[in-house]
Structure 1
Amino acid sequence: MSETQSTRQEPNFTGAIPFKADGGYMPGLDGLRAISILIVVIAHVGFENLIPGGLGVTVFFFVSGFLITRILVAEQNQHAGALDLPGFYLRRFLRLAPALLVFLLGSWLMLLPFGVKVDAGHVAAALFYFINYYDVVREWFGWSERTIPWGHLWSLAVEEHFYLLFPAALALFGKTHQARVRLVVISIVVCALWRAYAVLGLGLPHEHTYYTTDSRLENIAWGCLLAILLDGAPRTRARLAWLVGWHWVVLALGAILATLVYRDEVFRETLRYSIQGASLFILVLNLYALRSLRFSIDLLELKPMRWIGRLSYSLYLWHVPIIWIVREVMLGDANSLERLSPIGMVIAVALSFACACASYYAVERPLFGLRKRFGGKPVETLATA
């Protein structure tokens, strides 16, 4: 093959990451996490009508699918398609459970003086990752209404279900590149079709399509698909080259903007998630494949962005009850429609970061060494290696 032919077939790759999944540090992903959590926090602190908090969660879903899939595929590449599932699940437990346990206990103690009630059902839903279904099916089973501000844990439940199901599916049905592509594409199509049927055929409410795993897994699967295709044969990568270019970047950004502006309810409950997932696929592909976008990776790799990205899990856990407490103290009613004052917003954000730092440095970081013993590669150690 001539050099000219090879250039036409391959994207104008930035060289920021290898195409082949290797489990190494992924530049820019901490920055993307930072953007997603900042979108969520700014929205929740009082700008819901201006900042699309749900988009921040969707970005986080995509990044999780992309990163976890690269790690899993890299392991399969090294071990003839095999995966150490017990090791993976143990590493995920050590990554997520300790901070969650501290959050549940700490936030409950903080909320006690305000008379917020919590029962065993609420704790079980949060602890065992089914809070995204708790509010949807609560009335069916006669469960008590959830009053403690833990509703934001729905997205962690979606991700945990992904961590439980996808590695096992990959080990069983995705031992080759073609099988992985087929598995993820089928997942995307089935999820999109099921969501459309749930809305148009069954008339299920917004709570189902927005919060439940069976509806939102597609956003994670788009990230999985990009990771798998990047790892594929040169022929697969050559096909990806058709989606590389500034015109695709503008189109993808425009598509995401359109999903935020167009307010038709049926569209928002069905096609919105598919369009956002496909658009993020194009944007992240171009982030790593379009040479003239390399400056974006440099911006995402700035130390403040990487630092916020590393805090993102703890910050996501703590910011909602902290904002609830600040609203209760300053407005007299956390559920008031009144917006916090600017000083109140600053206090809420500052306290959220303070709690996130305490959680990260006292709970998450001390477990890095233990995770490494079981094959984990904490992002901080990878970034400084």
Structure 2
Amino acid sequence: MSASRIAFAWLVWGALGFGLEAHAGAARTAHPVVFAHGMGGFDNILGFDYWGDDYGTFVGDPCNGFVELTCNRHLDDRQRAFVARVQAFESSEVRGLDLANDIESLMATMGTDAVNIIGHSQGGIDARKAARVLYERAGNTVIKVLVSVSSPHRGSPVARYILNQGPGVTSVAETLARYFGDTVSEPGNDATAGALQLVYGDYDPEDGKVTGMKAFNAAYPVDGRHAERYASVVTAQDGLNVNPALYLLGSVLFDIDGDGYCTNDCGPDGISGSGDGRNDETDDDGMVGINSQQMGYRLSYESRLLGFDRLYLDTELGPVHDLEAPTYEQAASSRSVLPQDHMDVIGVGPDTFDEMEFYATIIHSMARFDRGPRPIVRIFNVRLPSQEPPGPPRLGP
């Protein structure tokens, strides 16, 4: 074969995503990455693949086959990533225990003693329960890095609205089915328990059960024994850019006022915050306000036209160590907010968001910490008060 034909073949090979450079974007984590789905998951949501791009390819699937077209070319070809499966509609007490059991089985199968977690929506809440359970079972920290995406750590007013059966709501299960599909009626699901979990306070103090995010945060806090590093991606979008299902929710049923500051449910609207009196702002992602989403450091995502995207800590806002006491800026600031809605960020189209590179960037950032025994640059340097003396958070080894 002539030199020109060989060169042309290599160009075609690379253009199709098979060249060595296809795997050069994200570094590999030393331990597997577990994807924890939110309410209504596991394999699909609104007819789209959960944790997929617009074509249904799993964002954690590396291109490690000889000829593999449906894969994430941004990942290292040795990256290990898995999707956990828990009950689609339940409390995070139940789902978090399921997640811990899934992770324990995975670790036994893979022969590993630790994992990283990326949790979307309620999955980021479940992950805190799982982290504590795994720590207590193992007697040491099992979760290396825990990243939540669009998670209502301080509640969602949409949950309270649905439980109140406001205008447009005939029942909890029926309303959730509009947005999450028929999975709500599958065996083992409890739509009401799922909604009660996502209200900030105890929705019904007379029912003999303590529910809600306030009690959950007390039981499963940001704790350096449970996970070594905590961080979060905060999402918000407004207007016609919002996914049609969520736009309908905001326009017809309920629009969140999600950027006010308060250290309790001062609305009361089901979220730890009071709103600033304006609903028509980019202060929520259609399901969760920005004042509910930060846990640990807020991550800032920078999409690049050329080269691999970047993800870095917003050190000016600082970390949320106490989920019950964010600062005013951490609750109300639009800094480092990813302009995506609650569904687009997990692959529910139509949209132009590059889910593949976004999650590869998160994994790359995890890998900068989770490199095993080698020297590292710690970008998730969220050392908790129990681990280090008081002082400003620092980057570096």
TM-score, normalized by the shorter chain, greater than 0.5: no
Structure having the higher strand fraction is: 2
Query: Larger relative contact order (C-alpha < 8 A, sep ≥ 6)?
Result: 1
Structure having the higher helix fraction is: 1
Tell me the TM-score normalised to structure 2 length. Answer: 0.28
